[in-house]
Amino acid sequence: MFWAIPSLVLVLLLMVSDAVFAESWNLPPLPPPSQYGNVMINRSAGKSDRSPVTFSHWGHRVKYTCRVCHSELGFEMKANATEITEEKMKNGQYCGACHDGRTAFGHTPENCDRCHNGNMGYGEEKFRDLESLPSSRYGSHIDWTEAISKKLIQPKQTIFGGKYAPDSFRKVLTMEPQWAEFPPAVFPHEVHNSWLDCSSCHPDIFNIKKKATKHFSMNFNNEGKFCGVCHLSVAFPLNNCKRCHPALGR
């Protein structure tokens, strides 16, 4: 009889919906799709006479991959962790690498409030321009994997001239959970490498040896560690159980 217990648990799990799962894991509530991935930057702005700055991930990732900002320009993957100042930006760092009046609007008085707007919903009307992209459940409701692999969007991989081609490392990992009866998670390297650098994850987030990352479990993901570094705020959220645990069905 003992053998029957794990498979019974699995059958039951296969029958419950993502919504039930999400509830049992206490995942944070999701913002409207047009605000998913928006960041309110208020490290120093609030102490000046300017409003906090809002930054939209969907608005920028259609044009640039993550590596441009998080590797080339040095933005941290954590809200309010980067020391961004007006002086640095005028010297071409951070937002100022693009917001220079040529690539994008510059740091001139008429533009201050386009960034310093203190409004998480700023620029929402432009979200409708992305309606034609393939859709997914949760998060921004855009299937970014399909959008980039079908070349419906062609975000720049570098802004420093020259060419950059993503590393061709393609290994798909099957990650067996600590609960033997739960279906494994998949980790496709190729999908990630079309947006990120190896150094976005190795060695700071994940050990480069499979099964070597310590304390790796869903609880830690939910706290914003490991997969949760990106899959709570910018990449599709943890609510989408089936996209990482495909045996749960689509």
Draw the binding track, 184-223, toward ligand HEC (x: CB under 6 A; -: no contact).
Answer: -xxxxx-xxx-xx-x-xxx--xxxxxxxxx--xxxx-x--
Distances (CA, A) of 49 to 45, 115, 164, 222: 7, 14, 40, 36
Encoded amino acid at 12, one letter = L
**Interface with ligand HEC includes 133 (CB under 6 A)?**
no
- Residue closest to 229 by CA, chosen among 202, 248, 209: 202
As given in the structure block, the two tokens for residue 191 are: 């999908």
Q: How far is the CB of 101 from ligand HEC (least distance, A)?
A: 9
219 in Cβ contact with 156 (< 8 Å): no
Q: How far is the CB of 151 from ligand HEC (least distance, A)?
A: 15
Q: How far is the CB of 24 from ligand HEC (least distance, A)?
A: 7
- Residue closest to 97 by CA, chosen among 125, 131, 60: 60
Q: How far is the CB of 126 from ligand HEC (least distance, A)?
A: 6
Q: How far is the CB of 86 from ligand HEC (least distance, A)?
A: 4
Query: Which residue among 62, 77, 130, 133 contacts ligand HEC (CB under 6 A)?
Result: 77
Angle 205-208-214 (CA atoms, 0-180°, nearest 5)? 55
Q: Residues in the chain, how many? A: 250
Taking the C-alpha atoms of residue 250 and residue 243, their distance in angstroms, rounded to an integer, is 7
Binding-site size for ligand HEC (CB under 6 A) equals 108
Q: Any idea what DSSP says for residue 156?
A: B
Considering only residues 6 to 35 of the shown chain, the ones binding ligand HEC according to CB under 6 A are 21-22, 25
Taking the C-alpha atoms of residue 190 and residue 85, their distance in angstroms, rounded to an integer, is 35
As given in the structure block, the two tokens for residue 211 are: 């099964």
**Interface with ligand HEC includes 147 (CB under 6 A)?**
no
Considering only residues 46 to 75 of the shown chain, the ones binding ligand HEC according to CB under 6 A are 48, 50, 53, 55, 57, 59-61, 63-64, 66, 68-70, 73, 75
Query: Which residue among 30, 123, 135, 158 contacts ligand HEC (CB under 6 A)?
Result: 123
**Interface with ligand HEC includes 45 (CB under 6 A)?**
yes
Query: Which residue among 85, 91, 154, 174 contacts ligand HEC (CB under 6 A)?
Result: 85
Taking the C-alpha atoms of residue 179 and residue 10, their distance in angstroms, rounded to an integer, is 11
Q: How far is the CB of 207 from ligand HEC (least distance, A)?
A: 5
